[in-house]
Amino acid sequence: MRKPVVGISYKTYVNTIDKATELVKALAEVAKNENEVEKFAFPSLGVLYPAAQALKGSEIAFGAQNISPYENGAYTGEISIESIIDMGATHVEIGHAERQHIFHETLEMIHLKTKLTLEKGLTPVLCIGEEAYLENKSERKQVLKEQILTSFGEVDTQHIGRVILAYEPVWAIGKAEAADAAYVQQTHELIREIVKEAYHTETAEAIRIIYGGSVSKDNVYEIITHDDVDGVFIGRFGHDPANYKQILHTVKQVKIK
Ligand code: PGA
């Protein structure tokens, strides 16, 4: 059985030490004794260290929303994986649509970051997703296949099952509504097929595929009831700890039989 996942990213919405620590403490409180679900938070990078301190001893793992593709060296302004490991991070978000579109991150950089994260023993949360709604299944599969295979590149195939693939259709990020749940399930099935065809059946069965893009307490049930959806990646609609709690409980109820 694949362990269900609930992740949350604060992007750069909550950027002061006081507010960020208060928020993650509230999350840790509502996530108590929910250890059947894997939970991680990506605080705003500038407050990662104090947020990490606030999460110490809690059941919520944490990580960075981005890392440098290089371990260390002359890379001004980057955040090294060495620092986040030192803080106790376990997850790294890689290739979010905003990084690709606003900061021109390429698939080659995404590949280097994925490889480095796996080599260091952390869990990459690798974001993939088509730009626009694609009714045609084979076109959708082709776009995602290119993203997945280029991002994995020469990664040691035995590590691929450890990746969490975050399917985030770009057209559903930052909207009032998430993508239609049937479309999400169909796409997760396609993603599993891509992994199976390129690697092994066991890898495809082991890999967790989570959905992100306007997930809320009101739409999570519909999305999570599908078999190939292993969890959700929350943005804005999880900032309120009460909403986060409801999302987490729904995932647990549906996935833990
Ligand atoms: P959103 O963000 O839920 O605010 O759309 C999701 C994401 O970008 O991961």
Q: Where are the domains of the chain?
A: 5-255
- Cα(74) to ligand 1 centroid in Å equals 32
The CA-based angle 257-162-45, given to 5 degrees, is 100
Q: In angstroms, rounded to a whole number, what is the distance separating the alpha carbons of residues 143 and 129?
A: 8
239 is annotated as an active-site residue: no
Is 90 exceeded by the pLDDT of residue 257? no
Predicted TM-score (pTM) of this structure: 0.98
Helix residue spans in the chain (DSSP H): 17-30, 48-55, 81-87, 97-102, 107-119, 137-152, 181-198, 201-206, 220-224, 241-255
- pLDDT tens-digit map of 186-196: 999 999 999 99
7 Cβ below 6 A of ligand 1: no
Q: In angstroms, rounded to a whole number, what is the distance separating the alpha carbons of residues 222 and 77?
A: 41
- Secondary structure percentages of the chain, helix, strand, coil, to 5: 50, 15, 40
208-212 vs 164-167, strand pairing mode: parallel
What was the pLDDT predicted at 33?
85
- pLDDT tens-digit map of 79-101: 999 999 999 999 999 999 999 99
Smallest CA-to-CA distance from 38 within 212, 248, 235, 195 is with: 248
- Cα(200) to ligand 1 centroid in Å equals 30
189 is annotated as an active-site residue: no
Categorize the per-residue pLDDT at 123 as very low, low, confident or very high, splitting at 50, 70 and 90: very high
Categorize the per-residue pLDDT at 207 as very low, low, confident or very high, splitting at 50, 70 and 90: very high
Domain spanning 5-255, CATH class: alpha beta
Q: Which atom of ligand 1 is nearest to the CA of 174?
A: 5
Q: Which amino acid would we find at residue 134? A: L
